[in-house]
Structure 1
Amino acid sequence: MQSASEQVAAAIAGELRLMDPGVRTSRAQAAQLLDPDFVEVGASGRRWTYAEMLAALPEMQGGAEDGPRYEASGMAGVLLAPGLVHLTYETAFGDERARRSSIWRRAHEGADWRLLYHQGTPVRGD
């Protein structure tokens, strides 16, 4: 069984993969990282489902190999229960900043870690 720090590290690795342009533009790769029960409340306030996110992700910002990318900072995680990790961090994309919260789960030992829930909240200047 993975230790708490290994589980948090696995969730962080998955979160960072989702910011990679190659993953963002590949529905197959993104589908491996999103839980079938995935829900997101985006920084815009829109609620996204698994199917909606897979359909839209290739066209969303941060997907161009030669374009701007999300810059993550302050990423930290806590193990809520075995196989369930909560991450918090901030992103910058150009002049846009957001505080983010993600919940990653692993259905059983040996299964892939998948993003279950994500929320982004715009930061309008502190």
Structure 2
Amino acid sequence: MNVDSSVAEVIERELQLLSPSGRSSRALADQLLDPEFVEVGASGRRWDRQSMLSALPVMQGASDDGPQYLPTEITGTVLAPGIVHLTFETMLDGRRARRSSIWRKLDVESGWRMYYHQATPVPEA
């Protein structure tokens, strides 16, 4: 496994999920979210895969003409073969959040999928 290429591929997929086209396309999100996906959002709400797939198209960041996620400082680490952890910050409509995602690759066919995501709001200074 090439560590650099694994991290680069996962970052590319994370950016797809943050983009309006990734958020508004249930088919693309379906390919990127792991069957066991769980998220703890910045609101504190816990999301499972089905609730996230249903909500993504209508959430902020899903429209080309509305607020969009601006990610910064994305870094990744391979924790084990087939497991990558990303950390980064986002800005959306004036709100900043620190984010952490765990991606796993169960097989070559399905590729990297987001297994877990957590967002923590950053209070204004």
* TM-score range for the pair, normalised by the shorter chain length: over 0.9
Q: CA deviation at 1:125?
A: 2.8
Matches within 5 A, 1:1-126: 2-109=1-108, 111-126=110-125
Q: CA deviation at 1:95?
A: 1.1
Listed as ranges, the gaps of 5+ residues in structure 2 are: none
Relative to the length of structure 2, the TM-score reads: 0.96
Give me the whole-angstrom Cα distance separating, in 1, the residues matched to 2:34 and 2:119: 18
Whether contact under 8 Å (2:40, 2:117) holds in the other structure is yes
Whether contact under 8 Å (2:37, 2:49) holds in the other structure is yes
Listed as ranges, the gaps of 5+ residues in structure 1 are: none
Whether contact under 8 Å (2:103, 2:112) holds in the other structure is yes
Root mean square deviation, CA, Å? 1.1
Q: Which runs of 4+ in 1 moved over 4 A?
A: none
* Counterpart residue type for residue 76 of structure 2: G
Matched positions, count: 125
Q: CA deviation at 1:29?
A: 0.9
Aligned-residue sequence identity (percent) comes to 54
Give me the whole-angstrom Cα distance separating, in 1, the residues matched to 2:109 and 2:61: 30
Relative to the length of structure 1, the TM-score reads: 0.95
* More displaced 10-residue stretch of structure 1: 101-110 or 114-123: 101-110
Give me the whole-angstrom Cα distance separating, in 2, the residues matched to 1:23 and 1:117: 17
